[in-house]
Amino acid sequence: MKLFTFAASLRTGSWNQKLMDHTSALLREQGATVTEVPFADLAQMPIYSGDLQDSEGFPEAAERWKSLLEDHDGFVATIPEYNYSIPGGLKNAIDWVSRYRPQPFRGSRAFLLSASPSMVGGNRGLWASRVPFELLGVHVYPDMFSLARANKAFDEDGSLEDKGLEQRLNGALEGFLGEFK
Amino acid sequence: MKLFTFAASLRTGSWNQKLMDHTSALLREQGATVTEVPFADLAQMPIYSGDLQDSEGFPEAAERWKSLLEDHDGFVATIPEYNYSIPGGLKNAIDWVSRYRPQPFRGSRAFLLSASPSMVGGNRGLWASRVPFELLGVHVYPDMFSLARANKAFDEDGSLEDKGLEQRLNGALEGFLGEFK
Amino acid sequence: MKLFTFAASLRTGSWNQKLMDHTSALLREQGATVTEVPFADLAQMPIYSGDLQDSEGFPEAAERWKSLLEDHDGFVATIPEYNYSIPGGLKNAIDWVSRYRPQPFRGSRAFLLSASPSMVGGNRGLWASRVPFELLGVHVYPDMFSLARANKAFDEDGSLEDKGLEQRLNGALEGFLGEFK
Amino acid sequence: MKLFTFAASLRTGSWNQKLMDHTSALLREQGATVTEVPFADLAQMPIYSGDLQDSEGFPEAAERWKSLLEDHDGFVATIPEYNYSIPGGLKNAIDWVSRYRPQPFRGSRAFLLSASPSMVGGNRGLWASRVPFELLGVHVYPDMFSLARANKAFDEDGSLEDKGLEQRLNGALEGFLGEFK
């Protein structure tokens, strides 16, 4: 199956990007075809406005989402938690993309992860992110993966130092890939 | 008390703007000093990025939020529902403003409304919006006001045609203003 | 595939029960084997207490959930909205059942509906209900079905008067059944 | 001001009860009059059913809530997190009490805490609990207090070992008490 992956953070070298780099590698090892997409390509667009849509049409980054969704069976995203909720930049992108007809999220499948240097790991942001995706018809895999203390979590080769955690991540991805038949 | 008000939509003549125009008038009738702020002044800023914050500092619109929060006792906002959640543009603004220290939302008070042409009125978006505001220390008034069928709701003078609804809105605003003592 | 169905209301002749009666019939027409379970069998149990679990073990209604989950591929439930959230009785049942090891919800699939005489239809309750189910590993189908104005919605034969709505319900159930392969 | 306090757990010696014992003491030190209520008195009631309400009226525990709400200015509760959401027993109690007219929660004020032996502390349960309370007109204080690793958190005298945390709790309670004027 064909998946696109992204880390919903614009910061260079963010923990979410690091977790996504490793996750993309694991997905490939398990046989998936993976397109890694820089978040700038998906998020750098104006704040949604109906007037702007009427006058200028969709921005380039929304077009990119649309093609990616059409060309892939699903996506895997690491999403940082901002103020116990979804990052505004990701939500703004979803708001734009949700205006296409047919609406391109419908029928896609997603696996969501989060990384945070805190002890919590960002799962409140993940739960807030499920709502718009599921409303738009994405099958969001029930299990999600929250990496706490991300600043101490990675080995030098980019895998997770805690091998129990590494195994859990691999198992969850395997479960997700099992949904594509 | 001094309040600032805004409609979290960039569309000219949006139902949320119409509801806010009327709400600002009602607040003034009840004795509040009201600063009406165009949403463009609060939302037109780049997508949040830690790198950008490091290199360029805060955008102008974030500075505007900060001054408004410092100069007022609270705010009243109409918030459209986008995909059962908070508009991305509003969330992006909150993400920026939440990075100031001291964090300027703390201790403010807010009343939230929503207008929608649908039969539902947008209250799922309001509940999603409470989370970041409350996390950041805003006292969000328990009652909120969702205006359904907004396209048929207004009299020619901008008040609500349904006088029972108009009374409920006025009563809720009175309750909110009672919190400032 | 084998499904069990229930309406999460103890009231005789509730709108949610009426919607579930019709939904069970539609599921059978589409080839599913359906076990209809009265909510009393699933909800009449003590309030969860760790002490009680230690001294008395699991109540009969929790055992019923466990067998049902083990013997079926998934479930379909109509859930009334109580105070913008999940009914306490349903949540209490989930709290008990979540204590079994292995945890019996894991890997099940669910489709959720709601009926309400109001103009809204109960979907805030459905979204609140998704959280514990998904946390426990249930694949909750993205589309849900909220029936507003339920007191005027049914034909004499128990189907929906609005044939467009009837078609949408049938289509959503078909999509859900397509998940079992 | 007069407050009632409870820990929303039926387990003897639960961490939430321990945190509530300490919190009640701190509230008294700060000048509040505190009624401590065992959760059994507030939760031991049948699962809500409209039929039962029609035939038997309200259960004793619902009457207790009503009197407590009428006789006090607000309440302080520790709420364990069950399956990322509100405990079913607490939600069931709220569902019953919300049926009184006038609805007794309206205009009350609440401060919410949570204790958990995990590293997270239960704040997802707190956020899920805010929704029905706020819908019913309770002014839920924006700050909440989540005690992680509760099994290692208490001194022998029942206060918090981590004195920074103890100070934060005291400060939050002081802020809450400042809302009553």
C148 touches chain B (CB under 8 A): yes
Q: Which carries the bigger pLDDT value, residue D61 or residue C118? A: D61
Q: What's the pLDDT score for residue C47?
A: 98
Question: Do C83 and D132 lie within an 8 Å CB cutoff?
Answer: yes
Tokens 């809500």, residue?
A: D48
Confidence class for position B137, pLDDT limits 50, 70, 90: very high
Could you give the CA distance from residue C108 to residue B31 in angstroms, rounded to a whole number? 57
Q: What's the pLDDT score for residue C104?
A: 98
pLDDT tens-digit profile of A12-60?
A: 999 999 999 999 999 999 999 999 999 999 999 999 999 999 999 999 9
Q: What's the pLDDT score for residue A86?
A: 98
Lowest pLDDT segment from A115-124, D29-38, D73-82, D96-105: A115-124
Neighbours of A98 (CB within 10 A): 20
pLDDT tens-digit profile of C28-40?
A: 999 999 999 999 9
Contacts of C85 in chain D (CB under 8 A): 86, 91, 128, 131-132
Q: What's the pLDDT score for residue C119?
A: 82
- Domain boundaries of chain A, sorted by first residue: 2-177
Question: Do B139 and D135 lie within an 8 Å CB cutoff?
Answer: no
Q: What is the mean pLDDT of chain D?
A: 97
In chain C, which residue's Cα lies nearest the Cα of B119?
A: C119
Chain B contacts in chain C segment 63-82 (CB below 8 A): none
Q: What's the pLDDT score for residue B121?
A: 81
pLDDT tens-digit profile of C31-73?
A: 999 999 999 999 999 999 999 999 999 999 999 999 999 999 9
Write down which chains contact chain B via at least 3 CB pairs under 8 A.
A, C, D
Q: How many residues does chain B have?
A: 181
Lowest pLDDT segment from B41-55, B57-71, B115-129: B115-129
Confidence class for position D120, pLDDT limits 50, 70, 90: confident
Confidence class for position D62, pLDDT limits 50, 70, 90: very high
Average pLDDT over residues D136-149: 97
Could you give the CA distance from residue C128 to residue C123 in angstroms, rounded to a whole number? 9
pLDDT tens-digit profile of D92-111?
A: 999 999 999 999 999 999 99
Lowest pLDDT segment from B3-7, D6-10, D177-181: D177-181
In chain D, which residue's Cα lies nearest the Cα of C135?
A: D83
Contacts of A140 in chain C (CB under 8 A): 134, 142
Question: Do A123 and D124 lie within an 8 Å CB cutoff?
Answer: yes
Average pLDDT over residues B3-11: 98
Backbone φ and ψ of A133, nearest 5°: -60, -45
Q: What's the pLDDT score for residue A139?
A: 98
Average pLDDT over residues B91-112: 98
Q: What's the pLDDT score for residue B99?
A: 98
pTM, full prediction? 0.96
Average pLDDT over residues C145-151: 95
Q: Cα–Cα distances in Å, from A105 out to A62, A92, B76, B134, C173?
A: 12, 15, 33, 30, 19
In chain A, which residue's Cα lies nearest the Cα of B85?
A: A132
Q: Please provide the DSSP assignment of A40-107 as one string.
A: HHHH-SPPP-HHHHHHH---HHHHHHHHHHHHSSEEEEE---BTTB--HHHHHHHHHHTTSSS-TTTT
Could you give the CA distance from residue C139 to residue C137 in angstroms, rounded to a whole number? 6
Could you give the CA distance from residue A107 to residue A74 in angstroms, rounded to a whole number? 9
Name the stretches of chain A with pLDDT < 50: none
Q: What's the pLDDT score for residue A121?
A: 81
Confidence class for position C181, pLDDT limits 50, 70, 90: confident
A85 touches chain B (CB under 8 A): yes
pLDDT greater than 90 at residue B155: yes
C114 touches chain B (CB under 8 A): no
Residues 6 or more apart in contact with residue D126 via CB below 8 angstroms: D79, D81, D112, D113, D114, D144, D146
Average pLDDT over residues B46-70: 98
Q: What's the pLDDT score for residue B169?
A: 98
Question: Do D120 and A119 lie within an 8 Å CB cutoff?
Answer: yes
Question: Do A12 and B51 lie within an 8 Å CB cutoff?
Answer: yes
- C92: nearest CB among D9, D14, D89: D89
Q: What is the mean pLDDT of chain B?
A: 97
Q: What is the ipTM of this complex?
A: 0.97
The DSSP call for residue C114 is E
Q: Cα–Cα distances in Å, from C156 out to C22, C159, C160, C161, C164?
A: 11, 7, 9, 9, 17
Q: Please provide the DSSP assignment of B118-137 as one string.
A: SSS-SHHHHHHHHHHHHHTT
Q: Are B74 and B109 in contact (CB under 8 A)?
A: yes
A124 touches chain C (CB under 8 A): no
CATH value of C2-177 in 3.30.499.10, 3.40.50.360, 3.40.50.620, 3.30.565.10: 3.40.50.360
Q: What's the pLDDT score for residue A119?
A: 82
Burial of B58 (0-12, 13-18, 19+ CB in 10 A): middle
Could you give the CA distance from residue C133 to residue C144 in angstroms, rounded to a whole number? 14
Q: What's the pLDDT score for residue B181?
A: 79
Q: Angle, nearest 10°, between helix axes C123-135 and A123-135?
A: 130
Question: Do B92 and A93 lie within an 8 Å CB cutoff?
Answer: no
